Structure 1
Amino acid sequence: MPVTITAILFALIGIALAAGGAQLLMLGDSAYYLVTGLAFLVTAVLLFLRRSEALWLYALIVLGSLGWAIWEVGFDWWQLGPRGGVIIVLGAWLLTPWIRRPLGFTSPNTGYRYSAGATPLLASLALALIIAVVSMLVDIHDLSGELPKEQVAAAPAMGGDVPPGEWHQYGRTPFGQRYSPLDQINVQNVADLQEVWRYQTGDVKLPEDVGETTYQVTPLKIGNSLYLCTPHNWAIALDATTGKQKWKYDPNVGLNPDRQHQTCRGVTYYKDPQAAVGTACAERVYLPTSDARLIALDAANGQVCTGFADNGALHLEAGMPYNPAGYYYSTSPPVIAAGKIIIGGAVNDNYSTQEQSGVIRAFDVNSGELVWNWDSGNPTQTEPLPEGQKYTTNSPNSWSVFSVDEEMGLVYIPLGNQVPDQLGMNRSENVEKYSAGIVALDINTGADRWMRQFVHHDLWDMDVPAQPVLLNLKAEDGSMVPALVGPTKQGDIYVLDRRNGEPIIPVTELPAPGGAIPEDRTAPTQPISALNFRPRTLEGRDMWGITMFDQMVCRIWLKQLKYEGQYTPPSLQGTLVYPGNFGTFNWGSVAVDPERMVMFGMPTYLAFTSQLVPRSQVPPKGEGEKGSEQGLNRNEGAPYAVKMGPFLGPLQIPCQAPPWGYVAGADLRTGKIAYKHKNGTVYDMTPLPLPFKVGVPGIGGPMITKGGVAFLGAAVDNYLRAYDLTSGRQLWETRLPAGGQATPMTYSVDDGRQFVVMVAGGHGSIGTKPGDYVIAYALPRQ
C-alpha cells in the first residue's frame, strides 16, 4: 500500500511539474521543470510496477536537480532549499523499508525478501546534504569591507546651532544628517544598553482606521523635553529624563476613509528670539495634521498659540482648486528658516486627476501670513496669489521632509509626481520638469535656483521620498565643497553640489525600455548615479517560493508580465516594477557622518506589479472602501485605473528570492560601497517565530553617532539594532513590543547619560504589529 500511495503522489507531482514546465518552456524559460516532471511520471510508473529501477531513476533526479540548482543560483541556501526540499524529503522516503522491500526480490534459495539496492540514491542524497550544509555556511550576498575611520573634517558643518545633547529637527539639524556628536555610547559598550523608561501614548490603531495607519515619528529634544506626535496627530511633551508626560494636545482630526495615510512623522520647534523668556508662546511646537491644518502650540504647556494664523491654525486647503476632505494633508514636519515656516503636503496617490496642488508655501512663523508660494505647475509666480486665484490643479507635490542651508539661503525640496503616477499623457512642460527630483528654492522669495531630476517622464511612482542630507565634502584639492546627498526609490544615491545641483559623483544617462501604451510615451534614457544600490534585472532563476511548485508558478508569472528591466512602462497585461514603488530607499533616508564623510543606509528590494485597467472595466466605488496605495487605484478622471501591489506568490510571500533588505555603508568622497550585509529576520513574518536572518524589507531610517554606532529599527521584524558604522556588523539588538518603523534619535540628560529613543507603533502597509510605545535606552549607571 505505501508504494501505491507513493506512486500516486509521484504521478501527481509529475503532472503538476510537467504541465507548469511545458507552459514555462513555451514562455522561454527553463526546461528543467518539464524534464523533471516527466522523470517523476516515469518514476511513478516504475513504482506501480514494483521495479527497483525507480530508485536509480530517482537518484538521477536528485543529482540532476542538484546540478541544475547550483548552476542557476550557486551556493545560496535560501534558493537551493525551495528547489531541493521536496525532492530530498521524497528521496528519504524512498529509502525506507516500506518502499525498498516491495521493490526488492525474493531469494529462490532461502525465500528471504531482499530490499532494493539503495546505494546510488543514498549517495546522491548524501551529496545534496553536504551541499546544503556548505551553502548554509556561505553567504554569497554578503559584501564585507570597512569605511574609512579617518576624521576628515575637524570642525564639520552640521547645520544650525544645536547643542550636542539635543535633537532640534527631524534629522537633528536643518542639514538632516541624523548624526549626533555624542560618543558615550560606542562600539565597545553598546551591547550593554538597557531600557530606561517606556511611555505609551494611548493613540492606538482603530478597526475603522485606514490601512496606512502608521507610527513614523522621530521625537525632538529641547532642554529636558521631548516633543512628538502620534498617528492621529496628538502632540505630546515628555520629560526627557523620566519619560513622564508633561502635556498632551488632541486636535480632533477625526477619521476619514478617504485619507490614504494616517500618520505623523514629527513636529517642528521654534524659539522666538524677540519674545521675553517665560512669556506665552515664546517657544512653540508646530503640529501638521491629517485634516490639512498647521497648529501652533506653546511648547511649555501645549496650549494653542492663538496669535498665529486663524486662532492658532493655518488652513492648508486655502487657495486649492478642489477640496474634497481627506485628499490633502501634511504627514511630515515643516522647516523653519529666516523667520518663515515652509511646508508642503501629501495628496492621495492615484485617486483623481482633480487633486489639490503640490504648492510649497512659506508663512511668517509668528503671524502665519503667507510670504511666498512656489507651485511646480506655475513656478515663476512666487508672490502670494491674489484673491480668487487658485494654485495649479494636481501639480507635483512634496510630502517628505525638506532640508535647509540658511547661510546659502536655500531650502531643498524632494519632489513627487503628478497624479496619476503611471499615466504621463497631457503633462505640461512645467510638470515634466519639476517632478521626481530635488529643487532648491530661495528661502526669501521662493524662486527656484536649480532643479535636478532623477527620473524622466516618471511612470512608476518614483517620487523622491527622502529628506536630502547636507554636508561639506573634501575635494581632491583639499577644498570643502557644499554637498547634498539624495537617496532615491530606484536605488541611486545622488551626491550633488548644493550650490547649483551639479553632480559631484558622476551621473550618466542609460537607455531605457520603450513600449508605453499608445496614448503615452517613455523617456529614451534615464539617469544613474555612479554611487547606487540598484539591483540587477530579475530573471527566472531569481524567483522563489517555499517549495519548487510555488517557485515554478512565480517563474511563470514573471514571464507573463511585461518586464524588460528597470523602467519597463506600465501596461494592460501587467508590468513588473523593480525596484517597486516601495523603494530601495524611502522617507527614512540615510544617515551621514559629516566628520568621516561616510553614509549608512538600509537598501530594500521588493518588486511590485502595475497593471492598467481601462475605465470601462473599473467597478463602482464600494461602500466602506478605504484609501490605499495597494490594490485598485481608481484614478478618477483618467482613462485608466491601475492595480498595484507587491509581487507575491501563491502563498503570499515575495516571488523574488531573498535577501530583501540590507544595511550598507558607502564612502561619499570616493562613491564606493564598503559593505552590504543582510538585515533582519523572518521572526515576525511567519506563523512560527523563526530567527532566520534572510534580510527582510523595512521602512524607516537610521541614526549614527560619533561613537561609531549606527542605530536602525525599520525591518519587518520587531527589533531595534545597533551596528558598527565602520564594518556594518551588528553589535546589539533588543526586542520591540511593536513594529519599529520610525527613525531613532539620541540625546543626553542633565546627569550626563546618553539616551537612545525609539518609537514602536507599527506600519499599516507592511503589516507590522501596531502599538503606541516610546522607549528610551541607556548604559547602566556607573
Structure 2
Amino acid sequence: MTTVLAIVLLLLGFLVGGGGIWLIALGGSWYYLLAGAGFAFTGFALWLRNPVALYVYAALVLGSLFWALYEVGMDWWALAPRGGLIVVLGIILLGLLIGRRPRSVAGAWRWGGATLGATLVATIAVAVFAMLGESHTIKGQVAEAGEISLPPSEASAPPEQWVAYGRTSGGSHYSPLAAITPANVGQLEEAWVYRTGDVRDPEVDPEETTYEVTPTMVDGLLYLCTPHHIAIALDPVSGEERWRYDATVGHSQMRQHQTCRGLTHYRVEASADAVCSSRILLPTADARLIALDAKTGSECVGFGQDGAVDLSANMPHFYAGSYYSTSPPVVADGLVVIGGAVNDNVSTTEPSGVIRAYDTETGELVWNFDSGNPEQTEPLAQGETYVGNSPNAWSMLSVDEELGIVYAPMGNAPPDQYGGDRTEETERFSSSVTALDLGTGEVRWVRQLVHHDLWDMDTPSQPQLVDIRRDGEVVPALVQATKQGDIYVLDRRSGEPLLPVTEERAPQGAVEGDFTAPTQPRSAMSFAPEPLRESDMWGATMLDQLYCRIRYRELNYEGRYTPPSVNGTIVYPGNFGTFNWGGVAVDPVRQVVIANPVYLAFIVKLIPRADDTTSYVSEQKPGFNENYGAPYAAEMRPFWSPIGLPCQRPPWGYVAAASLEDGNVVWQHRNGTVRDLSPLPLPFEMGVPAIGGPIVTAGGVAFHSGTLDYYVRAFDVTTGATLWQDRLPAGGQATPMTYEGADGRQYLVVVAGGHGSTGTKPGDHVIAYALPE
C-alpha cells in the first residue's frame, strides 16, 4: 500500500507540477508548481521509506492552508477544492504510518507523524469553522409597508385573481392576498395535482422544449398552456379539467424554443352570455395567434381568419420555425399587442422583430412597429414586408392605459456576437426598453441598456410598472431587470432614471470589421457580479481547479463586456443571464424588489467563416449559431471544468431583496442545493442557478420554484429566511402564481415540467398548494 501511495503522489506531482509550469507561463499563480514539487518529493521519499516524506507533506498541508486563506478567506466552498485532496491523501499517509511504522527509525517516523497530524488537525479545524460560517450572506430587514397606493394596473385587477402573466398588465408579480403569512406558510399542503400529458420527445423536439408557463385565474377558471401549445382550463379549487384545446403545432427541430409562457384573457363588448364575449388568446409555435372562448375553449371564428391571426403575414425570410411568439400578448384599449421571437444566430436573413397591434374583436391589424423602419407604423399593404433581422420583443410586454404607453423589452439583432453590419435603427433599439404609443405604435421614448450589444444581452423580462416615492411625491416608475445584472428604475413617462445610471468605460478590441462601444451603462440598483479573478476559479478537486485557472489565463477576459474573439472570450455574466425572462418581483407597498440573481460564466469563440453555407458549429438545419452571411460563426458553451462543474466558485444563485428607495441590497442568501446536480443526492446548500421568476404577496411571503434542484420555496420578505419548501416531481423552471378560490382559501400554483437547456427532469405537473381547510 505504501508503494501504491508513493506512485500516486509521484503521478500527482507530475500532473500538478506540469500544470503549474503551464499556468506560470500564462502569468498565473506559482502555487501549483510548488505543490506539485511537494507531492513528488513526498512520493519519492515514501518510495525510499524515508521519514522526511512526512515532514515534506506536513509542509505541503500547512503551506496550502495559508495559501488558500490568503486567496479566498473563510469561504468553505472555495477552500474545499484547494485542500480536500491534500487532506484525504494526508490522512491515508498518516494511517499507513500508524498501521506499519518501521521500528528501526521509530523516532523519526513518530515525530514526522505527529507533525503531519497536527497540520491535518489544524486544516480540518479551519475547514469546520469555515463550514459553519455564512460567507456571501447579507443580513438585513425590509422596512414595514409605507403609505402608497397601488398603481392603476394593480388596483384595477380583482385581488383574488391572477389576470395576466405577471398578475396584471403591469407585471409586478405581486398579489394583494395575505392569508398565507410567515406564521402559517409552513402548513402549506398539496391541494391537487393535474397532469397535462405533454412531455418533451427528444427524438423530434428541440432541446429547449420547456415548461415556462405561469397560469392565470380569471372569473373562476385557471388557464394555462403547454410547450406544444395546448390551452387548458381547470377548476381552481379541484384541479379538474374544464376544457382543452390543441393548436396542433406538431413537432419541429427547426424551432429554437418550444414553449408557451402564458395565455391572455380579455373581454369584448357583448352580452354576458354571448359566445366569445370572454376570450383567451393563445400564441403558437407555427406563427398564429388564436382566440378561444374562455368558457368553452372553442375558436372565436370572428377573430382573424376562422379564429386565428397569421403572424407570418408580411414577414421577410419566413420559413417554418423561424418566427413565433413564446410570450402572451397584452390587451388594452381595444387592442391586442404582440411581439415575437426569431431563431437567434442562424443567419443575417431572418424575419423581422416587428411588434403589432390588432383589434381585440376582429383581429384586424391596427398598427405595426418595426424597429428596422420605426417611422412607418401604418399597416403594410399585401406584398410589402417588414425589415428582416430587426431587433425583436420576444419577452412579455407591459401597458399603462392611463399614459397610453406599451413598454417593450427589446432583444438584439441577429447575429448577437457580431455587429459590424448593423443599421442606425438597429443600434438605437437593440437591448433597450422601448415605449410605444398605445394608439399608434409611434415611439415615445427609448432607454438603451447595452450599447452595441455583442453578448446576447437582450432585455429579457417584462417591464414592471410600480409607483414609487420620490421627494414626497408618488412617481410612476418602471423596473427593468437585465441579463447583465443591473435593475433599472425609470420614470415610465419619459424613460429618465429615478435611480442613478452612469456610463462606465468598457473593454475594447472587437474582431476585424466590428467595434465595441467605449462605455456601457450601469444602474445604481445592480446585482452585477464582481469581475472574475484567477483565484475565483473552482473545481471539485485541485486538478480541475488548475484546469480552470489555465483556461482563465488562456481566454480573453477584461471584465464585463469583454468583446467576443477568435481566441475565445469569457462572458460573465453569460447570456443565460443574471436575470432572464422570469425577471424579479416588485412589492409596490413595501417598495422593494425580490430577486433571484444567477451567476454563470460562458465562453464565446468566433470562428471565421469561409463562405455562407458551411456549417461550423451545428449538425443540422436550421444551423443555430452558424450566422450564415456574417464573417463569423459563434461557438458558445458554459465555462465548465472537465467534469461538468462551473469553473467559477459558488454560490451560483441567490435570493435577495433590494430597496426601490436607494437601490441598495437589503438582504441576500444562497438559494438552492446541489441535490439534483451532483452524482450523489447531497443536499449541500451552495446556491445554484435558477430560471423562472419569483412572486411576492401582501402576506409578507415570496415564492420561487426555478432553482435547478426540484423545490418550491417560500421566503420571509422581511429577512429572506427560508420558511417552507416542498419537493417537486420535475424541474420547476416557471414562475409560480397565487389566487383565492371559491372556497375562500389562498392557493399557490407551481408548474413542474423541466427545462430542456438546463437539463432538469421533464414532467407535466401542475401542482396547487393551500393551507389546511
If the TM-score is normalised by the length of the shorter chain, which range does it land in?
over 0.9
Residue 498 of structure 1: aligned partner: 492
Residue 33 (str. 1) matches residue 32 (str. 2): yes
Residue 67 of structure 1: aligned partner: 66
AA in 1 matched with 2:528: R
User: In the TM superposition, what is the alpha-carbon distance from 1:114 to its structure 2 partner?
Assistant: 7.4
Does the 8 Å contact 2:616/2:633 carry over to 1?
no
Does the 8 Å contact 2:615/2:626 carry over to 1?
no
Cα deviation code 1:379-420 (max 9, x no counterpart)? 011111123221001100010001110000001000001100
Q: Indicate which of 622, 640, 659 corresponds to 1:667.
A: 659
Q: Indicate which of 379, 396, 402 corresponds to 1:401.
A: 396
Residue 455 of structure 1: aligned partner: 450
Cα deviation code 1:123-155 (max 9, x no counterpart)? 000000100100001121111111111323155
Q: Relative to 1, partners in 2 of residues 1:583 and 1:522: Cα closer, same or farther, differing over 3 Å?
A: same
Structure 1: how far apart are the matches of 2:37 and 2:521? Answer: 47
AA in 2 matched with 1:319: N
Does the 8 Å contact 2:162/2:218 carry over to 1?
yes
Residue 258 of structure 1: aligned partner: 254
Aligned-partner SS, 1:693: coil
User: In the TM superposition, what is the alpha-carbon distance from 1:373 to its structure 2 partner?
Assistant: 0.4
Structure 2: how far apart are the matches of 1:584 and 1:556? Answer: 25
AA in 2 matched with 1:485: V
User: In the TM superposition, what is the alpha-carbon distance from 1:278 to its structure 2 partner?
Assistant: 1.1
Residue 156 of structure 2: aligned partner: 161
Structure 1: how far apart are the matches of 2:150 and 2:319? Answer: 50
Q: Indicate which of 283, 289, 314 corresponds to 1:294.
A: 289
Cα deviation code 1:720-760 (max 9, x no counterpart)? 00000111110000011110011111111122111111111
Q: Relative to 1, partners in 2 of residues 1:406 and 1:159: Cα closer, same or farther, differing over 3 Å?
A: farther
Residue 328 of structure 1: aligned partner: 323
Residue 704 (str. 1) matches residue 696 (str. 2): yes
Residue 760 of structure 1: aligned partner: 752
Does the 8 Å contact 1:235/1:248 carry over to 2?
yes
Residue 339 of structure 2: aligned partner: 344
AA in 1 matched with 2:207: G
Residue 553 (str. 1) matches residue 547 (str. 2): yes
Structure 2: how far apart are the matches of 1:704 and 1:492? Answer: 20
User: In the TM superposition, what is the alpha-carbon distance from 1:103 to its structure 2 partner?
Assistant: 5.5
Structure 1: how far apart are the matches of 2:570 and 2:94? Answer: 43
Residue 238 of structure 1: aligned partner: 234
TM-score, length of structure 2 as denominator length: 0.98
Q: Which runs of 4+ in 1 moved over 6 A?
A: 621-624
Residue 198 (str. 1) matches residue 193 (str. 2): yes
Residue 610 (str. 1) matches residue 609 (str. 2): no
Q: Relative to 1, partners in 2 of residues 1:75 and 1:366: Cα closer, same or farther, differing over 3 Å?
A: same
AA in 2 matched with 1:455: V
Aligned-partner SS, 1:121: helix
Residue 171 of structure 1: aligned partner: 166
Structure 2: how far apart are the matches of 1:488 and 1:142? Answer: 22
Structure 2: how far apart are the matches of 1:516 and 1:624? Answer: 28
The residue correspondences of 1:384-395 to structure 2 (distance < 5 A) are 384-395=379-390
Q: Relative to 1, partners in 2 of residues 1:393 and 1:62: Cα closer, same or farther, differing over 3 Å?
A: same
The residue correspondences of 1:626-705 to structure 2 (distance < 5 A) are 633-705=625-697
Structure 2: how far apart are the matches of 1:576 and 1:328? Answer: 30
User: In the TM superposition, what is the alpha-carbon distance from 1:102 to its structure 2 partner?
Assistant: 5.3
Cα deviation code 1:690-725 (max 9, x no counterpart)? 100000001001111100000000000000000001
Structure 1: how far apart are the matches of 2:235 and 2:621? Answer: 37
Structure 1: how far apart are the matches of 2:109 and 2:26? Answer: 46
AA in 2 matched with 1:26: A
Does the 8 Å contact 1:36/1:61 carry over to 2?
yes
Residue 743 of structure 1: aligned partner: 735
State how many pairs are aligned: 771
Residue 45 (str. 1) matches residue 44 (str. 2): yes
Residue 510 (str. 1) matches residue 504 (str. 2): yes
Does the 8 Å contact 2:51/2:108 carry over to 1?
no
Residue 601 of structure 1: aligned partner: 595
Structure 2 runs not aligned, ≥5 long:
none
Cα deviation code 1:238-280 (max 9, x no counterpart)? 01111000000001101111100000000110111x2111111
Residue 271 (str. 1) matches residue 285 (str. 2): no
User: In the TM superposition, what is the alpha-carbon distance from 1:684 to its structure 2 partner?
Assistant: 0.5
Structure 2: how far apart are the matches of 1:766 and 1:626? Answer: 22
Residue 223 of structure 2: aligned partner: 227
Structure 1: how far apart are the matches of 2:470 and 2:458? Answer: 30
Residue 10 (str. 1) matches residue 9 (str. 2): yes
Q: Indicate which of 500, 524, 527 corresponds to 2:521.
A: 527
Does the 8 Å contact 1:160/1:173 carry over to 2?
no
Structure 1: how far apart are the matches of 2:440 and 2:231? Answer: 31
Structure 1: how far apart are the matches of 2:103 and 2:119? Answer: 20
Structure 2: how far apart are the matches of 1:279 and 1:324? Answer: 38
The residue correspondences of 1:555-574 to structure 2 (distance < 5 A) are 555-574=549-568
Structure 2: how far apart are the matches of 1:682 and 1:708? Answer: 28
AA in 1 matched with 2:748: V
AA in 2 matched with 1:466: S
Q: Indicate which of 352, 369, 374 corresponds to 1:357.
A: 352
Does the 8 Å contact 2:344/2:415 carry over to 1?
yes
Q: Indicate which of 706, 725, 728 corresponds to 1:714.
A: 706
Residue 382 (str. 1) matches residue 368 (str. 2): no
Structure 2: how far apart are the matches of 1:154 and 1:764? Answer: 41
Structure 2: how far apart are the matches of 1:33 and 1:282? Answer: 72
User: In the TM superposition, what is the alpha-carbon distance from 1:161 to its structure 2 partner?
Assistant: 2.1
Structure 2: how far apart are the matches of 1:97 and 1:282? Answer: 82
AA in 2 matched with 1:635: N
User: In the TM superposition, what is the alpha-carbon distance from 1:637 to its structure 2 partner?
Assistant: 1.3
AA in 2 matched with 1:559: R
Aligned-partner SS, 1:95: helix
Does the 8 Å contact 2:617/2:635 carry over to 1?
no
Structure 1: how far apart are the matches of 2:726 and 2:576? Answer: 26
Structure 1: how far apart are the matches of 2:487 and 2:526? Answer: 5
Aligned-partner SS, 1:371: strand
Cα deviation code 1:423-455 (max 9, x no counterpart)? 011111110001101000000000010000000
User: In the TM superposition, what is the alpha-carbon distance from 1:160 to its structure 2 partner?
Assistant: 6.1
Does the 8 Å contact 2:617/2:626 carry over to 1?
no
Does the 8 Å contact 1:70/1:80 carry over to 2?
yes
Structure 2: how far apart are the matches of 1:155 and 1:264? Answer: 29
Structure 1: how far apart are the matches of 2:661 and 2:465? Answer: 14
Structure 1: how far apart are the matches of 2:233 and 2:619? Answer: 35
Structure 2: how far apart are the matches of 1:641 and 1:624? Answer: 13
TM-score, length of structure 1 as denominator length: 0.97
The residue correspondences of 1:93-132 to structure 2 (distance < 5 A) are 93-97=92-96, 101=100, 105=104, 117-132=112-127
Q: Relative to 1, partners in 2 of residues 1:621 and 1:421: Cα closer, same or farther, differing over 3 Å?
A: closer
Cα deviation code 1:11-50 (max 9, x no counterpart)? 1000001110001011111100001101211112211221
Residue 583 (str. 1) matches residue 582 (str. 2): no
Residue 88 of structure 2: aligned partner: 89
User: In the TM superposition, what is the alpha-carbon distance from 1:322 to its structure 2 partner?
Assistant: 1.2
Structure 1: how far apart are the matches of 2:412 and 2:58? Answer: 56
Structure 2: how far apart are the matches of 1:282 and 1:604? Answer: 42
